[in-house]
């Protein structure tokens, strides 16, 4: 098959996407496929070379870099000749313009099959507030929350009532970002700290979510097709599971399968499949939870294009279920509706 791996892009998660895409490029080539690495940030420019892939790193993207990105290049990329004759796009664009339905809609218009969720499901899952409304409708427990927009950022009265409505520690985060970008945990919130956290999150989005902090353990469940893979517990050595603890080797321990009772394991996996389904996700996703000391799971969000290096959480769970990384890549292609029988 001729496969174009889309990676990089123009979001805050650009560099993580380069690492995810690099892993998929080499895994798919290992299986004998013709694979090109397409970075839509470059528009119609040539695909990435292997040397450029090897130079990718997990450093955070600066605001100056984000401001310099041009979304028009996405259109130039999708209409370029580099996608001529491609059997499928393996989409590993994390975050804005890749995971939120924009790239999916462009590929739909050109008639090119792609991996993962469709435009509508991608956009729905990227909107944390909308996702939580759907979780509630399906009986999936999720923490209480409210959302505020830029025109409310100076409303002290609103923030004071918010702290009364959701007493205790708070999580403040952009409504449509990933990798904990712009997120703050306020263990003892006051008005000044809340305003500062909202402004930080607001630098990345037009809508900020303020959510009750759920104490306990961090769990995540990969869903492949309609099946939940083994539950993983995430244990940062210091602080919470922020950008540094996610992507700096040795900062976090992972337990797969998680050391939880069979009853909780089954319950969390069932909730993951339900969350995946209520959002209309396709092929695969990763569903994040907090588990209280009393054993009550709360669904945080669904990631439709989660981290995908060979050591990321979805491949880790697949390996625990007996599936190696190259096989996982092709299973995602198959579950995305692409005929792989002749591959």
* Catalytic site positions: 13, 179, 247, 286, 288, 301, 303, 307
**Are 187 and 213 spatial neighbours (Cβ–Cβ below 8 Å)?**
yes
> Which two three-digit tokens encode residue 67?
């401001």
Q: How far is CA 50 from CA 19, 22, 186, in A?
A: 12, 9, 43
Q: In a 3-state reduction of DSSP, which class is residue 15?
A: helix
Helix-strand-coil split of the chain, %, nearest 5? 40, 20, 40
E strands along the chain, which residues? 2-6, 34-38, 88-91, 145-149, 170-174, 184-186, 207-212, 217-224, 227-228, 232-236, 252-255, 284-291, 297-303
Q: How far apart are CA 176 and CA 184, in angstroms?
A: 15
Tokens of residue 249, six digits? 């080797």
Backbone torsions φ then ψ of 339, nearest 5 degrees: -75, 115
* Structure token pair of residue 92: 């590993």
Tokens of 135: 């979780």
Task: Please provide the DSSP assignment of 294-342 as one string.
Answer: TS-EEEEEEESS---STTSHHHHHHHHTT--HHHHHHHHHHHTT---TT
Tokens (6 digits) for 45: 């420019």
Helix (H, G, I), strand (E, B) or coil at 132: helix
Report the SS3 class of residue 284. Answer: strand
Contacts of 143 (CB under 8 A, 6+ apart): 171, 211, 212, 213, 214, 290, 298, 300
Buried b (16+ CB within 10 A) or exposed e, 305-324: bbbbbbebbbbbbbbebebe
């Amino acid at each position: 098959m001729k496969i174009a791996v889309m990676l990089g892009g123009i979001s805050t998660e650009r560099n993580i996407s380069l690492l995810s895409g690099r892993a998929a490029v080499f895994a798919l080539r290992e299986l004998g496929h013709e694979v090109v690495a397409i970075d839509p940030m470059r528009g119609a420019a040539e695909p990435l070379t292997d040397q450029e892939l090897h130079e990718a790193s997990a450093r955070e993207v600066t605001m100056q870099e984000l401001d310099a990105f041009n979304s028009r290049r996405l259109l130039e990329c999708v209409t370029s000749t580099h996608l001529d004759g491609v059997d499928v796009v393996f989409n590993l664009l994390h975050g804005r313009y890749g995971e939120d339905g924009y790239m999916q809609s462009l590929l739909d218009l050109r008639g090119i099959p792609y991996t993962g969720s469709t435009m509508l499901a991608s956009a729905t899952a990227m909107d944390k507030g909308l996702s939580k409304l759907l979780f509630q409708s399906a009986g999936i427990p999720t923490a209480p929350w409210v959302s505020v927009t830029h025109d409310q950022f100076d409303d002290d009265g609103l923030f004071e009532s918010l702290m009364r409505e959701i007493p205790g520690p708070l999580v403040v985060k952009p409504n449509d970002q990933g990798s904990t970008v712009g997120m703050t945990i306020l263990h003892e919130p006051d008005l000044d700290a809340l305003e500062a956290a909202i402004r930080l999150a607001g630098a990345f989005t037009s809508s900020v979510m303020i959510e009750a902090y759920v104490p306990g353990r961090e769990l995540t469940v990969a869903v492949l097709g309609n099946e939940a893979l083994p539950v993983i517990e995430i244990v940062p050595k210091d602080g919470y599971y922020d950008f540094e603890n996610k992507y700096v080797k040795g900062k976090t321990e992972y337990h797969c399968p998680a050391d939880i009772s069979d009853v909780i394991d089954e319950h969390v996996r069932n909730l993951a499949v339900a969350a995946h389904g209520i959002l209309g996700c396709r092929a695969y996703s990763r569903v994040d939870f907090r588990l209280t000391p009393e054993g009550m799971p709360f669904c945080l969000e669904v990631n439709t294009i989660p981290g995908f290096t060979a050591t990321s959480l979805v491949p880790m769970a697949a390996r625990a279920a007996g599936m190696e990384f190259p096989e996982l890549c092709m299973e995602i292609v198959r579950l995305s509706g692409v005929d792989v029988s002749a591959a």
